[in-house]
């Protein structure tokens, strides 16, 4: 294993700055198998969208649940389709085993991602370390080993109340000083205070690191509070709307930014609702309305059942935003 030279990490930061990274779902059939036609159609569709890249094997793509064959297929197909764009692979462990076991599984995913051509990795929060002795030291060492694989690393801060693990300010400082760390993705779900505190810490102490928002429910505000890129599940649909939002923010076009932010919020408010784990299937249902995938591919084997009215609400919202239908 090797350490990436700083210039490669800087180059990755430049590529992501101002860009939309779509955390892409995987369409499954009713038997829980990869829906190959829908997957191919979705990959072709996203290759035409104004995105900086995609995140595969992230939670939206059920990365810790996929069997090895499906996982490899998904990453290879995205890599081939997005030759000129960034492909980030989520890496982690779903088992609650020992530190060595879970870190080993994470490193296996990172090494496979590198082998298959990923440009960077997104390190899942090591939730198995929650409340463990020497928790902070083990979290830092876990990320250090992931960084040693040689790909640029995006640390993922999913705070505890949202199902992750809380990082105090001292721990964040240590993580952001590690080699290969491009920046941190924030996903607090509904804790604006947590987001504000971390944003302020990066602005004051780590201005060279990228704050990447994962805040689907307050995307516009998260950009105002320092995010310079977005890696979000919502980015898997209606990409033009969100890419325009990031561009308006970067240009300082306040009136257009506010208009777009209101539209994006309307989309988030039908996709990211309780039960929150249903957001993955809701994204797939949105893709059905956009004409990207067939209805029989809008299945998430690990998600909850959704009411029929949700499908209709998503359709009304997507249609009202006047986003373009697929040409696949």
Q: For residue 69, what is the enclosing H or E element?
A: helix 68-81
What would the pLDDT profile of 193-249 be if each residue is shown by its tens digit?
999 999 999 999 999 999 999 999 999 999 999 999 999 999 999 999 999 999 999
Indicate the number of domains in the chain. Answer: 1
Q: Domain limits at 144?
A: 6-256
Q: What's the pTM value of the predicted model, to 2 decimals?
A: 0.94
The reply to whether 289 falls in a domain is no
Measured distance CA(86)–CA(77) in Å, rounded: 13
The reply to whether 62 falls in a domain is yes
Read off the CATH number of the domain in which 49 is found: 3.20.20.70
The reply to whether 278 falls in a domain is no
Question: What is the predicted pLDDT for the residue at 327?
Answer: 47
Query: How high is the mean pLDDT of the chain?
Result: 93
Question: What is the predicted pLDDT for the residue at 117?
Answer: 97
* DSSP3 helix / strand / coil % (the chain, rounded to 5): 50, 15, 35
Question: What is the predicted pLDDT for the residue at 1?
Answer: 46
What would the pLDDT profile of 87-105 be if each residue is shown by its tens digit?
999 999 987 778 889 999 9
pLDDT band at 162 (very low <50, low <70, confident <90, very high): low
The reply to whether 312 falls in a domain is no
The reply to whether 200 falls in a domain is yes
The reply to whether 287 falls in a domain is no
Question: What is the predicted pLDDT for the residue at 317?
Answer: 96
- The DSSP secondary-structure symbol of 149 reads T
Measured distance CA(190)–CA(211) in Å, rounded: 17
Burial classification of residue 317, based on how many CB atoms lie within 10 Å of its CB (0-12 exposed, 13-18 middle, 19 or more buried): buried
CB 20 within 8 A of CB 51: yes
Question: What is the predicted pLDDT for the residue at 2?
Answer: 47
Determine the longest span between alpha carbons in the chain, in angstroms. 54
The reply to whether 288 falls in a domain is no
Phi, psi of 187 (to 5 degrees): -140, 95
157's tokens:
């801060």
The reply to whether 123 falls in a domain is yes
């Amino acid at each position: 294993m090797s350490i990436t030279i700083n210039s490669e990490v800087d180059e990755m930061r430049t590529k992501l700055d101002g860009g939309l990274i779509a955390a892409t779902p995987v369409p499954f059939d009713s038997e829980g198998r990869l829906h190959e036609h829908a997957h191919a159609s979705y990959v072709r569709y996203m290759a035409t969208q104004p995105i900086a890249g995609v995140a595969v094997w992230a939670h939206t793509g059920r990365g810790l649940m996929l069997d090895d064959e499906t996982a490899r297929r998904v990453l290879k197909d995205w890599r081939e389709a997005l030759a000129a764009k960034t492909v980030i692979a989520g890496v982690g462990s779903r088992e609650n085993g020992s530190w060595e076991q879970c870190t080993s599984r994470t490193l296996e995913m990172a090494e496979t991602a590198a082998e298959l051509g990923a440009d960077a990795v997104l390190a899942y929060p090591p939730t198995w370390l929650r409340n463990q002795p020497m928790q902070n030291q083990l979290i830092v060492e876990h990320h250090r080993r992931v960084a040693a694989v040689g790909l640029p690393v995006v640390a993922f801060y999913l705070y505890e109340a949202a199902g992750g693990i809380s990082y105090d300010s001292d721990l964040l400082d240590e993580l952001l000083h590690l080699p290969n760390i491009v920046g941190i993705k924030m996903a607090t779900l509904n804790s604006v205070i947590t987001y504000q505190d971390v944003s302020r810490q990066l602005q004051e102490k780590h201005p060279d690191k990228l704050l990447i928002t994962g805040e689907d429910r307050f995307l516009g505000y998260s950009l105002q509070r320092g995010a310079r890129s977005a890696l979000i599940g919502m980015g898997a649909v209606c990409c033009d709307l969100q890419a325009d939002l990031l561009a308006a923010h970067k240009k300082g076009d306040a009136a257009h930014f506010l208009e777009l932010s209101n539209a994006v919020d309307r989309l988030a408010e039908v996709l990211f609702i309780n039960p929150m784990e249903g957001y993955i299937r809701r994204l797939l249902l949105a893709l059905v309305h956009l004409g990207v995938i067939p209805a029989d591919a809008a299945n998430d084997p690990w998600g909850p059942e959704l009411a029929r009215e949700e499908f209709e609400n998503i359709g009304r919202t997507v249609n009202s935003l006047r986003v373009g239908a697929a040409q696949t």
